[in-house]
Amino acid sequence: MNPVLELAAQLPYPALDIEGLLARWQPTIGAVVAASRNDQAAAESLAPHLAQLAESQDWAALVAAIRRVLDGEHHEDALAAGLDEIDTAILHQILVGVASSGR
């Protein structure tokens, strides 16, 4: 193996800041929960935001799952299939919010 790659493999992998990411996603999470309760204003403000996120390879799969939630699907295992750790954490928070909202 290349000596540079060997050294790189020994570097500590930075821990994901899931809590920080969830905090930054909180406005979107709240909007998805509100839109799932038929809040039309939330749904209208969320649509362009989701469209913009869907253009990013990093967020496209999560946006697809969010759209499924908005269509009424709430089975976490099915929705999380293929999502990475960050997307799954965000999706989980959305589903917790939807469940607590009584939908």
pLDDT digits (tens, 9 = 90+) for 2-43: 666 666 566 555 667 888 889 999 999 999 999 999 999 999
Q: Is 68 exposed, middle or buried (0-12, 13-18, 19+ CB in 10 A)?
A: middle
| Per-domain boundaries in the chain | 17-100
User: Is the pLDDT reported for residue 102 higher than 70?
Assistant: no
Query: Does residue 94 contact residue 33 with C-beta atoms inside 8 Å?
Result: yes
- The predicted structure's pLDDT at residue 9: 62
pTM assigned to the model:
0.82
In whole angstroms, give the CA distance from residue 13 to residue 64: 29
In whole angstroms, give the CA distance from residue 69 to residue 78: 11
